Amino acid sequence: MLLDASDSQLILVDYQERLMPVLWEGPQALANAMRLAQAAARLQVPVWGTEQNPDKLGGNDPALRALCRRTLPKMHFSAVADGLADCLRPPAPRAPAGNARSLPKHLQKPMEPAAPARATLLVAGCEAHVCLLQTALELMEQELDVWVVTDACTSRTERNRDAAFDRLAGAGAELVTTEMVIFEWLRSAEHPCFRELHALIK
């Protein structure tokens, strides 16, 4: 199955100013996250950011943060516990007005939570074996389709990062790279954005 830009959302986990300098190949991971966010913005793919304990670790890279629709502060390692899943879903339909006696029976049932309008979630971030891993696993527990962009992820050590990829793949996440994502979103060299996005990865 190929990625479809019209069904995708991008989640960028904890690219924080005080964290990035101590991460293995941090500059490369951040550069790929920027490429993803720029491509997503051009193709109208929603981009969400998270920041772990921003008072202590600082905010996300400012240029990356500017490309996010919203950046969610969190204290849990998984962003799901701090409300990420609610951001990914469209607003719930309003309950019908009126009292129970005046409503038809089918309108008296409790409303089901809305499913994401865009159910394919591309996730990248830091640290891969902690916040990214726990966020991705909890999204998968909610039966969402999770793709991890490996070259935009990092940890303090390569071993920790790779262990996260092994566990995520075993749990059913798809592992992809930045170029795979961008070219699948484009699908064709005739796409109107091809030249612009191709320039991002040259």
Residue 103 covered by a domain:
no
- 135-164 average pLDDT score: 97
Q: Which pLDDT score is estimated for 90?
A: 72
Q: Specify if 42 maps to a domain.
A: yes
- Find the farthest-apart pair of alpha carbons in the chain and give their distance in angstroms, rounded: 64
Q: Is residue 80 in some structural domain?
A: yes
Report whether 38 contacts 182 (CB < 8 A). no
Average pLDDT rounded to a whole number, residues 43-71: 97
Determine how many CB atoms are found less than 10 A away from the CB of residue 118: 19
Confirm whether 55 is domain-assigned.
yes
* % of the chain surpassing 70 pLDDT: 87
Q: How many domains does the chain have?
A: 1
Q: Is residue 186 part of a domain?
A: yes
Q: What is the pLDDT of residue 25?
A: 96
CATH number of the CATH domain containing 74: 3.40.50.850
Task: Print the domain residue range for 184.
Answer: 5-89+115-201
One-letter amino acid at 94 equals R
- Is 98 inside a domain boundary? no
Average pLDDT over residues 9-28: 96
In this prediction, residue 95 has a pLDDT band, given cuts at 50, 70 and 90, of low
Burial class (CB in 10 A: 0-12, 13-18, 19+), 59: middle
pLDDT at 117: 73
In a domain, 101, yes or no: no
19 occurs within a structural domain? yes
- Asked whether the predicted pLDDT for residue 157 surpasses 70, the reply is yes
The pTM score is: 0.87
